[in-house]
Amino acid sequence: MVIGAGVIGASVAASLAQAGAKGAGLRVTLLDQDQPGRATSRWSFAWLNSNDKAPRHYHDLNHAGMRAWADLAPGLDGAAWYRPVGHVELATAQAGRTELAARVRRLTDWGYPARLIDPAEATRLEPSLQPPARETAAAWFPGEAYVLTEPLIDRLVKSATAQGATILTGDHGRVTALADGRARTADGAEHEADEIVCCAGRWTPGLTAQASPASPIPLVAWDTLGATAPGLVVRVGPVTAQAPARLIHTPRLALRPHSGGLLQLEAPDAAVDLHTPDPELRRWASELLKRARRTVRGLDHATVVDYQVCVRPMPADEQSIVGRLPGAEHVYVAVTHSGVTLAAHLSRLIAAELATGHQAAELAPYRPARFAGPAARKGGARS
Ligand SMILES: Cc1cc2nc3c(=O)[nH]c(=O)nc-3n(C[C@H](O)[C@H](O)[C@H](O)COP(=O)(O)OP(=O)(O)OC[C@H]3O[C@@H](n4cnc5c(N)ncnc54)[C@H](O)[C@@H]3O)c2cc1C
């Protein structure tokens, strides 16, 4: 059983269903309290990258995540959701230029495609860019991509169900209690399973605490005033000139194409949370549109089409949490930031662990046991 049909849960369900179809003897039920893909995954910037991930093992995990989507796309209608367009980053202040050069050096040492370019080449690669100032430093990351998460999750869920998985949504899929290898849903049904994979994004700690109260799954606070896990996502359009094709980062803006001729925007300094009043969100949305106009051409007639505060399921130590929940033998947890980059690769590793019982060495740094007290660790039979 898989709880949560965001990008992580939908990927895990598809990988498990595929393992089941190949004879691993698994029957998969995917539960979601809503329709699939309506929570964080829907609004994510969805940039597939390992551009600034540390330490090295976490960089490698994300890099493997990028490759996993490239592998998966041809067999999963990738034309509908996979956009391997590369990424142009611009840095203006001296400190930013120095940091960008150092990062490109480190990434190339690690075998990751990255190179410094001059502003003229940046404009050749992304003709929609407003001409950058002469002192601008730029870098090109040709292996990076983005995905459109709604069609992607749709394809993942269809792939899972085509291979025998069952999906339950709304009250039939809303897990209200989790204990002893059983999940109760809001419609009163009890679901028993040999394995329960909890992929409930930011709601994960509330569920896992029921199954094993002594095994915290600590996430950065997301529902309090001033919490840093939420981020503002803004969609603008139409673009009247040649539309941007690449991912673009400047010091004050992240921008990428979105479906329907829109652009999706974020800004690192947009300090909003789930309690920010709507006029303040609208003020930020207009500010991001202004920044986008200064970055690319063709937005003279654009307006803010949509905006949303969306929550990062950010583990307290910023590293993925993947593995068996100490103290609850049947519960396996998968919660992470960068979940869009990581989902295809993590889901393969998770399905292989569950199908074979063999522990993936690559996942050793990410086990939930790192947060558990000694009592819970002792109880976690298979962690
Ligand atoms: C602003 C922003 C930008 C981001 N940018 C990037 C990026 O560029 N690249 C990247 O890789 N990552 C990015 N991320 C992170 C990434 O989006 C997340 O890591 C990923 O979407 C998490 O997916 P998920 O499936 O774990 O969670 P979600 O998408 O939140 O899915 C969890 C699901 O669980 C369901 N659920 C919860 N509780 C229950 C319950 N009790 N019963 C049944 N179902 C339940 C929910 O309905 C939901 O469908 C970004 C995040 C944010 C907020």
DSSP string covering 53-103 = --SHHHHHHHHHHHHHHHHHGGGTTGGGTEE---EEEEE-SHHHHHHHHHH
Query: What pLDDT, in 10s, does the model give residues 34-67?
Result: 999 999 999 999 999 999 999 999 999 999 999 9
CB atoms within 10 A of CB 336: 26
Q: Is 310 in the pocket of ligand 1 (CB under 6 A)?
A: yes
What number is the average pLDDT over the span 305-328?
97
> Taking Cα atoms as reference points, which of 313, 304, 228, 223 lies closest to residue 270?
228
At CA 364, angle to CA 228 and CA 200, rounded to 5? 45
pTM, to two decimals: 0.96
Identify any residues that bridge with 82 across adjacent strands, giving them in sequence order: 147
> Taking Cα atoms as reference points, which of 292, 298, 180, 195 lies closest to residue 239?
298
pLDDT value at 381 more than 80: no
> Of ligand 1's atoms, which has the minimum distance to the CA of residue 175?
42
DSSP state of 260: G
pLDDT value at 113 more than 70: yes
Q: Is 83 in the pocket of ligand 1 (CB under 6 A)?
A: no
At CA 51, angle to CA 131 and CA 285, rounded to 5? 55
CB atoms within 10 A of CB 362: 15
> Of ligand 1's atoms, which has the minimum distance to the CA of residue 149?
21
CA distance 219 to 366: 14
Q: Is 65 in the pocket of ligand 1 (CB under 6 A)?
A: no
Token pair in block for residue 383: 């962690």
Average pLDDT over the chain, rounded to an integer = 95
